[in-house]
Amino acid sequence: MQTSFSLAQLADSDTRESEKILRTCVHCGFCTATCPTYLLLGDELDSPRGRIYLIKDMLENGKKATVEVARHVDRCLSCLSCMSTCPSGVHYMHLVDHARKHIEETLPRPFADRLMRAVLATVLPRPELFRLSLFAARLARVTSPLLAALPFQWAKRTVAMLALAPDTVPMRSPYSEPVTIAAEGPRQGRVAMLRGCAQGVLAPEINEAAVRLLTRHGIEVVFAEGEGCCGALVHHMGKQEASHDQARRNIDAWISEMDGQGLDAILITASGCGTTVKDYGFMFRDDSAYAQKAARVAAITRDVCEYVLTLDVQPPAMPSRLVVAYHSACSMQHGQQIKTTAQGLLRKAGFVVKEVPEGHICCGSAGVYNILQPEIAGRLRERKAANIAKVTPSVVATGNIGCMTQLAGAVGVPVLHTVELLDWASGGPLPRKLTKNALFAQHG
């Protein structure tokens, strides 16, 4: 598309990138059809092409963000389905990140909105605080019926947030501290694994399964000193300073491992985080102190399933033939363009894998989206659950904690991380979520 930025505007690095992106968009509209919000709302303003145009208009004219523009950008899930669809290679992710930053900087939001965002941005990336808040949420849940009756968006969001808290808060994970877990047998490789913030608290069993799976196959796993939340969460709220601070800490932690004992890869077990860590190179492109280090980190970052594919995981002698619906997280299939790896691994591990119809559409989780946009998120969850039900699975597997919490109550069958099933099939224990279920106990 034609653009009209002044030379002064183009002196800004973010604007320069955005201009390049806008120039590649030919306004063909293909992306609208695979956008979850357009599917639900039918308004071009809530489609990628519409958002691109809103952003273009805002940036080109150097306008402050308006409530209207923010409304449509806020409704974007950042699922990046549009990037998979776009034939022209438009990098929507970087464009919308820029827009979010611009909105955060130029639009004063109402108090309740600001408060909610600040609370999320403070609590979620800090595991200890988050743990405490989960206990608090269980207590506070008694207020939900009252809140639900209120006509305010903040009340709806609070109800959504409380509903997401699990019924029981898991025990603190041994991997919440810096620690190295030695390989079983001769060491074949050494990797760092992201501890993750929210995931480590909500589902410590994921990293535990991943560690067992990796160490059993000769890989040493490090949870590096000083590493923490990847920064995605605040990044998606447009809070660039905070996200860059969090990212810098991780970069320092991993670089010191890379330069110390060395790393073959940095593994991420939540694809949401993986998308962001893989983008560190871009995030720090203009930071002379960090550009190179960030690019080095990004270059060896892998989703855990990508790495497991390189290991010699043998199929089990007695395949379980359990019917698994694989839900591909948006951050997996669109963000990282990993389309078939996990399914292949699960098949090889003896599971009967079913692809979910309309699999390219988001489940509505999308970081804290399900808290900030409860209506749309709720409709997407129902839609996803209905599609999953069509393949009548015994369990659902996915590679992202966000999707797991979003789908847990909606699908009526256990929702597990891919590595939990892979670990089980290659000699690990029966996943905890399956032990309560007679059907699976016999498999164990």
Partner 1 sequence: MTQIAMPQPDPLILAKRERIIAGLKERVPAQWVITEEDERRPYETDALTAYRRLPLAVVLPGSTEEVAAILSFLSREGVKIIPRGAGTSLSGGALPQEDAVVVGVGRLNKVLDVDFTNRTARVQSGITNLAVTTHISPDGFFYAPDPSSQLACTIAGNIAMNSGGAHCLKYGVTTNNILGVRMVLLDGTIVDFGGETFDQPGYDWLSLVIGSEGQFGIVTEATLRILRACEGARPCLLGFDKVEDAGACVAAIIASGIIPVAIEYMDQTAIRICEDFAHAGYPLDVAAMLIVEVEGADAEIDVLLTHIEKVARENGARIVKVSKSEAESAAIWKGRKSAFGATGRIADYLCMDGTIPTGQLPYVLTRIGEIVAHHRLRVANVFHAGDGNLHPLILFNANDVDELERAEQAGNEILELCVEVGGCLTGEHGVGIEKRDLMEKQFTPVDLDQQIRVKLLFDPDWLLNPAKVFPLNLHPLPLGRAA
Chain residues that interact with partner 1, rule: CB under 8 A: 1-4, 23-34, 38-39, 41-45, 49-50, 53-54, 57-58, 66, 68-69, 72, 85-90
**Only segment of 45-53, 318-326, 370-378, 388-396 that touches ligand SF4 (CB under 6 A):** 45-53
**Only segment of 164-172, 175-183, 191-199, 382-390 that touches ligand SF4 (CB under 6 A):** 191-199
Q: Which is nearer to ligand SF4, 320 or 365 (CB)?
A: 365
Residue 407 in contact with residue 381, Cβ under 8 Å? Answer: yes
What angle, rounded to 10 degrees, do the helices at 271-278 and 291-299 form? 140
β partners of residue 301: 266
For residues 288, 292, 294, 296, the Cα torsion angle rounded to the nearest 10 degrees is 180
Q: Which is nearer to partner 1, 164 or 342 (CB)?
A: 342
Residue 214 in contact with residue 236, Cβ under 8 Å? Answer: no
- Minimum distance of ligand SF4 from residue 409's CB (angstroms): 19
Q: Which is nearer to ligand SF4, 335 or 393 (CB)?
A: 335
- Minimum distance of ligand SF4 from residue 443's CB (angstroms): 30
Q: Which does 136 bind (CB under 5 to 8 A by kind): ligand SF4, partner 1, none?
A: none
Instruction: Indicate whether 72 belongs to the interface with ligand SF4 (CB under 6 A).
Output: no
Q: Which does 118 bind (CB under 5 to 8 A by kind): partner 1, ligand SF4, none?
A: none
Q: Applying CB under 6 A, which of residues 58, 80, 266, 267 lies at the interface with ligand SF4?
A: 80
Q: Applying CB under 6 A, which of residues 58, 123, 160, 196 lies at the interface with ligand SF4?
A: 196
- Minimum distance of partner 1 from residue 357's CB (angstroms): 8
Count of residues touching ligand SF4 (by CB under 6 A): 38
Q: In 3D, which of 416, 263, 224, 202 has the Cα closest to residue 325?
A: 416
Place of tokens 């699999």: 359
- Minimum distance of ligand SF4 from residue 427's CB (angstroms): 28
Query: What does the DSSP 8-state code read for residue 202?
Result: H
Cα–Cα separations (whole angstroms), residue 265 to 135, 215, 305, 365: 35, 14, 12, 27
Q: Which does 196 bind (CB under 5 to 8 A by kind): ligand SF4, partner 1, none?
A: ligand SF4
Instruction: Indicate whether 302 belongs to the interface with ligand SF4 (CB under 6 A).
Output: no
**Only segment of 32-40, 177-185, 373-381, 431-439 that touches ligand SF4 (CB under 6 A):** 32-40
HEC string for 102-170: HHHHHCCCCHHHHHHHHHHHHHCCCHHHHHHHHHHHHHHHHHHHHHHCCCCHHHHHHHHHHHHCCCCCC
Residues ≥6 apart with Cβ < 8 Å to 296: 255, 258
Give the integer Cα–Cα distance in Å for 408 and 341.
23
Q: Which is nearer to ligand SF4, 86 or 404 (CB)?
A: 86
Query: What does the DSSP 8-state code read for residue 390?
Result: T
Residue 381 in contact with residue 410, Cβ under 8 Å? Answer: yes
Helices marked H in 221-368: 232-235, 240-259, 271-278, 280-283, 291-299, 304-308, 330, 341-348
Give the integer Cα–Cα distance in Å for 43 and 50.
8
**Only segment of 11-19, 86-94, 176-184, 315-323 that touches ligand SF4 (CB under 6 A):** 86-94
52 conformational bin, left if phi > 0, alpha if psi -120 to 50, beta if neither: alpha
Q: Which is nearer to ligand SF4, 133 or 199 (CB)?
A: 199
- Minimum distance of ligand SF4 from residue 275's CB (angstroms): 8
User: What x/- string results for residues 224 through 263 when contact with ligand SF4 is judged by CB under 6 A?
Assistant: -----xx-xx------------------------------
Classify 33 as helix, strand or coil. Answer: helix
- Minimum distance of partner 1 from residue 42's CB (angstroms): 4
Q: Which is nearer to partner 1, 45 or 165 (CB)?
A: 45
